[in-house]
Amino acid sequence: MSEGHAICMDGEAVSEDWCEAVAAPDVSLIMPCLNERDSLPHCIANARSALAEIERHYGLSGEIVIADNGSTDGSQALAAGLGARVAPVAKRGYGAALIGGCEAARGRYLLMADADGSYDFRDGVAMIGRLIDGAELVMGSRFQGGIAKGAMPWKNRYIGNPALTGVLNLFFRSGIDDAHCGIRAISKQAFLECSLSASGMEFASEMVVKASLRDMRIDQVPATLSLDLRDRAPHLRPWRDGWRHLRYLLMLSPTWVFGVPALMAMLAALSIFSVAALFELRLLSGTTPFGTSWQILAGFLLSTGHFALLMALATHLYGVHNGYRRLRPTIARWGHVVTLEHALALGSVLVVGAVLVLGVIGIRWSAGGFVALPSVLPLTMALAIGAVGAQTALGGFVLAIIAGHDADLLGAARQTPAPAVPDPD
């Protein structure tokens, strides 16, 4: 037989790719596995029961994929012996295992849960139904489905999970109440579009965040949580993994990390400068509430806020160019002026203007016999404006590099269709 062919379907010789396509299941049930020999028999039996219900309700075929993350207790052989397909994943971590399992999965619908017996795959039957109905990501909610006594530590149940889910909904408006539920379903197409990369527990947040950023339809169904079947401590480390989730949410939210602080800092600076200038020009009488120290602080706030604003734009465009974020319509409308040349021109004007003001201040200082200036307001404002100008010019090059070394700073990002609603971040 020639290379690349196999015997399939009544003994006929056909291509291996064709055989695989014909045999491809509709649903892949995926479990990350690291030394789960004790719980695998229960989990695989439970997964088979769920597949039977999925076939009965929706007429879909399925497979069980064990994403093995380097087990040393024989989990691989046990899973294969129980009829599951083992997908070795070399990169360590909960997220890495699930990403590897999803990449190896052949179904167009992916249903995932832990391999410790704490989740019931039969809760995923309704999730597959939601995917069939048009949802792209379906989350389980343990708070709606029920949590067995002792199945979730109190600090996770009443502090960590609500707090992190609240931050996620604030930043990205996902509209779910249990962002870290371990049983969830996603279409294979949506999984690929999200470009997931988190290797640790923060993978749970990343999936929801990137689905939200791409304006995907996210549904939620009740799910139960039971005591796991392990005879050892779980891999989860609440404080460490909680921080990893939070920092990941912050890294994916340029609006809240950079944009909001930038606007607050710049508004505060402009307010201080405006009031101080009104008193300086004697348009307001009395003693100014914003003396020298406040004016210097305003200069710092203006330059720092402007820098943060550039970072907000840079990280937003980075997400757009990497495919997990939609370009904000408000930014797209200014695309014709967001170019490297305009950034350099504006930066140069501000720097030159600042230098001229500094020159005038120097001349007056010299004419006055180099005595201390009566007011530092003009000097502080000139230095702040010069710093903003320099940042604008240098920031233009940073944005051009992010755009793929293109002087059009939005570049291909403007070709991405705008979402039906504004970007939630």
- CATH of residue 150's domain is 3.90.550.10
Q: Which two tokens stand for residue 93?
A: 């971590």
Q: Which two tokens stand for residue 402?
A: 């992010």
Q: What is the pLDDT along the chain (425 residues), one digit of tens a residue?
A: 344 443 343 444 444 454 454 578 999 999 999 999 999 999 999 999 999 999 999 999 999 999 999 999 999 999 999 999 999 999 999 999 999 999 999 999 999 999 999 999 999 999 999 999 999 999 999 999 999 988 887 777 888 888 889 999 999 988 899 988 999 999 999 999 998 998 888 898 899 999 998 889 999 999 999 988 776 555 556 677 778 778 888 888 888 999 999 999 999 999 999 999 998 888 888 788 888 999 999 999 999 999 999 999 999 988 888 877 888 888 888 777 888 999 999 999 999 999 999 999 999 888 888 888 888 899 999 999 999 999 999 999 999 988 888 888 886 665 544 443 345 45
Q: What is the pLDDT of residue 8?
A: 41
Q: Is position 377 within any domain?
A: yes
Q: Alpha-carbon distance 147 to 46, whole Å?
A: 18
Q: Alpha-carbon distance 408 to 332, whole Å?
A: 12
Q: Is position 421 within any domain?
A: no
Q: What is the pLDDT of residue 408?
A: 85
Please say which residue of 212, 230, 251 terminates a domain.
251
Got the DSSP string for 165-180?
Answer: HHHHHHHH----S-TT
Q: Is position 152 within any domain?
A: yes
210 lies in the same domain as 227:
yes
208 lies in the same domain as 319:
no
| Alpha carbon separation from 43 to 29, 80, 87, 150, 286 (Å, rounded) | 11, 13, 16, 20, 77
140 lies in the same domain as 276:
no
Q: What is the pLDDT of residue 301?
A: 96
Q: Which domain holds residue 157?
A: 12-251
Q: Is position 385 within any domain?
A: yes
Count up the domains in the chain and report the number: 2
86 lies in the same domain as 175:
yes
210 lies in the same domain as 319:
no
